[in-house]
Homo-oligomer: A and B are copies of this chain.
């Protein structure tokens, strides 16, 4: 089998308890434009079943350059502005390679 050389990203955002619905809307609006970006192979938004303030993006990019270009897009810039004051902590963004 050909090795999977895609870049995987797991990005976690924790909403302040009183802003869960608003954060959910902002993050949801962010999915479709990201999927249309060049080099975005898969992009999903998850919500923790037992802790609704915990949101996670599970991302698959063709290469690191595509993922970096993502941060220069207008929809990222808008979302970051909209999220100001709504998150309980800085988003945690971790980058992975596929072992198996």
Point out residues on A near B: beta carbons under 8 Å: 7-8, 10, 24, 27-28, 31-32, 44-51, 54-56, 58, 94-100
B49 and A99 contact, CB distance less than 8 A: no
Which residues on B sit within 8 Å (CB–CB) of A96?
A: 46-49, 56
Shortest Cβ distance from residue A37 to the other chain B in the assembled complex, whole angstroms: 15
CB distance from A36 to the nearest CB of B (A): 13
**Oligomer copy total:** 2
- With A48-B94, A94-B54 already in contact, the answer to whether A99 and B8 are too (CB < 8 A) is no
CB of A4 to closest CB in B, whole Å:
8
Q: A31-B100, A56-B96 are in contact. List 8 more A-B contacts (CB 8 A).
A: A7-B49, A10-B46, A47-B96, A48-B95, A48-B96, A49-B97, A50-B95, A55-B99
CA distance A45 to B100 in the complex (A): 5
**8 pairs, CB–CB < 8 Å, chain A vs chain B:** A7-B49, A8-B44, A10-B46, A45-B99, A49-B95, A49-B96, A50-B95, A56-B96
